[in-house]
């Protein structure tokens, strides 16, 4: 399995990609036994346009201290973050086509290639939302498949952001159905830059659609340990949040 982050010291818990109901129950049981395991599910996120190199350095220090799954950042910061996180076991996740998704396939491929060359080991790619809503399904499916293939060729995971707040339930299902045969490693709810973030209902719908084969990332508005548990119960296997440190503290973890 590509790009899986190191679990907390002394833990046998490993984050999963796919998940079924029994798997969700197991993760919840493990978190109840040791809430500190939550950190290995978190993509520690800083995507604000005003983020400075000093902000990214702090993000990486926190990721090393708490052993988060990854840092999720804009492509301009990838090389610096990869240097900061060398030999830490924390992955570098770069967003592509972010936050609107309204770029060409070639632009997304180039962005993916450059991010991986700079040190990214995970790619979070926004689909072309307008094309999906316009029913240009061949284009959407082909673009997802192309970016997934580019990411995998570089040894990186690929998460497909569908921006649930802008989609009908039918469109959410279609986007997930395009991601599975493309070989995506995860489907992801949201960029955090639209009108809404992750909901339990959307995570559950996405999990039902993709089945146990691939991961579901809940991102946007996940701020507490209780939020994390609700998302896992619905089927999430990765959490994107800028509140990772607060969640870790709530779980009783100190660096």
Is the pLDDT at 92 greater than 80, yes or no?
yes
Question: Cβ neighbours of residue 51 under 8 Å, at least 6 residues apart?
Answer: 73, 74, 77
- Told to judge if 188 belongs to the known catalytic residues of this protein, a careful annotator would answer yes
Of residues 108, 159, 172, 217, which has the active-site annotation?
217
Q: In this predicted model, what pLDDT tens digit does every residue of 8-41 receive, in sequence order?
A: 333 333 445 666 666 677 677 766 667 678 999 9
219 strand-pairing partners? 240
Residue 63 C-beta-side C-alpha neighbours within 13 Å: 35
**What's the confidence (pLDDT) of residue 37?**
83
Assign a CATH topology to domain 21-248. Answer: TIM Barrel (3.20.20)
Tokens standing for residue 56: 């990214």
Could you give the CA distance from residue 204 to residue 89 in angstroms, rounded to a whole number? 30
- Told to judge if 124 belongs to the known catalytic residues of this protein, a careful annotator would answer yes
Tokens standing for residue 78: 């990838």
Of residues 185, 188, 202, 227, which has the active-site annotation?
188
Of residues 124, 185, 202, 227, which has the active-site annotation?
124
Mean pLDDT of 1-14: 33
Mean pLDDT of 183-192: 98
- Told to judge if 172 belongs to the known catalytic residues of this protein, a careful annotator would answer no
Least confident of 35-39, 106-110, 198-202: 35-39
Question: Cβ neighbours of residue 14 under 8 Å, at least 6 residues apart?
Answer: 4, 7, 40
Least confident of 35-39, 100-104, 138-142, 237-241: 35-39
For tokens 């990186």, what's the residue? 156
Per-domain residue ranges of the chain? 21-248
Query: Is the pTM here over 0.75, yes or no?
Result: yes
59, 66 contact by CB (below 8 A): no
Average pLDDT along the chain: 91
Neighbours of 211 (CB within 10 A): 13
């Amino acid at each position: 399995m590509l790009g899986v982050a190191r679990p907390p010291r002394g833990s046998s818990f490993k984050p999963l990609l796919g998940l079924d109901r029994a798997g969700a129950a197991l993760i919840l049981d493990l978190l109840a036994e040791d809430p500190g395991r939550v950190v290995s599910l978190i993509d520690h996120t800083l995507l604000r346009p005003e983020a400075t190199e000093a902000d990214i350095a702090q993000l990486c220090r926190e990721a090393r201290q708490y052993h988060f799954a990854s840092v999720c950042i804009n492509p301009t910061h990838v090389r610096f973050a990869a240097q900061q996180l060398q030999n830490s076991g924390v992955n570098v996740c770069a967003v592509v086509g972010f936050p609107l998704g309204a770029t060409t396939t070639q632009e997304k491929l180039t962005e993916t290639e450059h991010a991986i060359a700079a040190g990214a080991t995970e790619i979070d790619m926004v689909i072309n939302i307008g094309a999906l809503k316009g029913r240009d399904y061949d284009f959407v499916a082909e673009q997802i498949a192309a970016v997934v293939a580019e990411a995998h060729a570089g040894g990186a995971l690929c998460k497909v952001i569908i921006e649930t707040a802008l989609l009908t339930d039918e469109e959410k299902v279609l986007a997930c159905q395009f991601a599975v045969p493309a070989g995506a490693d995860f489907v992801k709810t949201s960029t955090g830059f639209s009108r809404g973030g992750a909901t339990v209902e959307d995570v559950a719908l996405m999990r039902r659609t993709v089945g146990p084969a691939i991961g579901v990332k809940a991102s946007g508005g996940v701020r507490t340990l209780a939020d994390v548990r609700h998302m896992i119960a619905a089927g999430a296997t990765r959490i994107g949040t800028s509140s990772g440190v607060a969640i870790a503290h709530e779980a009783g973890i100190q660096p």
